[in-house]
Structure 1
Amino acid sequence: MKYIIASDIHGSAYYAKMLARKFENSGADKLILLGDLLYHGPRNDLPRDYAPKEVIEILNGYKDSIYAVRGNCDAEVDQMVLDFPIMSDYSVYILNGITFFASHGHIYSPQNLPCMKKGEAFISGHIHLPVAECKDGIYILNPGSTSIPKGGNPPSYSVLDGSRFTIYPLTDEDAPCSFIKEIELG
């Protein structure tokens, strides 16, 4: 199966629309969101086209295709307007035969990993940086931020297709799209 994975939309209708188009055009089976969906938080500037109500409408249009975890900027009140569950601090998925521990990154992180076995993957957002590496046999993955990237990176998202995890810039459909980082899992 094919999955689109993204994090840190932070209420940007502009990037939520772009992510929705990527999901639609990709043929992916599910959209996995790693938290911080509607609000920007006190440390971030407002993202482009900040419109949480519009983001709610966009994401609810994909409610049957979304798996999500809670970010540090997500609250119980957000769950009241979103038609898919977001309040879990983490989820464990078996995707294409690989165990993924999905978390936003503010509780569990690469520096505070849950109990994991070699060959499993830890995937999170939160730091707004794209990461695809293997440390001590555990895959550490982060799609970067769709709306407020850091470290000079472009807005980004990732694709898990089979055992290949690829991070792409979130660009307009007509723009050339080379990958930022890529890793083969397993």
Structure 2
Amino acid sequence: MMKLMFASDIHGSLPATERILELFAKSDARWLVILGDVLNHGPRNALPQGYAPAEVAGLLNEQARRIIAVRGNCDSEVDQMLLHFPITAPWQQVLLDERRLFLTHGHLFGQDNVPPLEAGDVLVYGHTHIPLAEKRGDVIHFNPGSVSIPKGGFVASYGMLEDNELRVIALNDQRVIAQLAINP
């Protein structure tokens, strides 16, 4: 199975971007999937540590060919002007042999508005900044949390899909926060 890394809710944090790209380089993941809210912190969030959206864009652009991204509620056309990979799609899909990953930010489709999916498909979203890996009914819900502004008492985190297992991993100490096996 393809190895994927997931990052969400970067919100223009340069230290979080540097860290996730360092981990991505070491991970052997095929794609870095960014689940929205890339450059802007949004009106409801405090500025993240090291807020530097132009520098974040520059670093991400170096990996543009290896990024799959969706638009978050804080992303805009102005942000797209800085980025060399598309971020304006509200959702994307990755098709695996046995299932589909439906990638979205979480403000249009998410835990309370699940798109029509087949049993065993995975709904992958951010937005809440709260990590999650669990089966709800026939659909698997996966949220890697936020790399820059964690909420709900959680630490900054990212996600991995490897060897039929979804994991949410702490950004700094690599501790597994949540995990779920997805059998083929």
Q: Deviations over 1:63-119 (max 9, x none)?
A: 010000000000011111100011000011114642011110001111101111110
Q: 3-state SS of the aligned residue for 2:59?
A: helix
In the TM superposition, structure 1's runs of 4+ consecutive aligned residues that sit over 4 Å from their partners are none
TM-score w.r.t. length of structure 2: 0.96
What is residue 24 of structure 1 aligned with on the other side?
25
2:179 paired residue among 171, 179, 182: 182
- After TM superposition, the structure 1 = structure 2 runs for residues 24-63 of structure 1, keeping only pairs within 5 Å, are 24-63=25-64
Q: From the superposition, tell whether residues 96 and 61 of structure 1 become closer, same or farther in structure 2 (CA, over 3 Å).
A: farther
Q: From the superposition, tell whether residues 162 and 95 of structure 1 become closer, same or farther in structure 2 (CA, over 3 Å).
A: farther
Residue 165 of structure 1 aligns to which amino acid in structure 2? Answer: L
Q: From the superposition, tell whether residues 97 and 62 of structure 1 become closer, same or farther in structure 2 (CA, over 3 Å).
A: farther
Distance 2:68 2:26 in 1: 18
What is residue 4 of structure 2 aligned with on the other side?
3
Give 1:178 deviation, angstroms.
2.1
Distance 2:23 2:3 in 1: 13
The number of residues matched between the two structures is: 182
Q: 3-state SS of the aligned residue for 1:180?
A: strand
Distance 1:178 1:45 in 2: 26
RMSD of Structure 2 on Structure 1 (CA): 0.9
Q: 3-state SS of the aligned residue for 1:16?
A: helix
- After TM superposition, the structure 1 = structure 2 runs for residues 33-182 of structure 1, keeping only pairs within 5 Å, are 33-95=34-96, 97-171=98-172, 175=173, 177-182=174-179
- Which 5+ residue runs of structure 1 have no aligned equivalent? none
Residue 87 of structure 2 aligns to which amino acid in structure 1? Answer: I
Distance 1:97 1:86 in 2: 27
- Which 5+ residue runs of structure 2 have no aligned equivalent? none
Residue 34 of structure 1 aligns to which amino acid in structure 2? Answer: L
8 A contact 1:96–1:162 mirrored in 2: no
Distance 1:111 1:69 in 2: 18
TM-score w.r.t. length of structure 1: 0.95
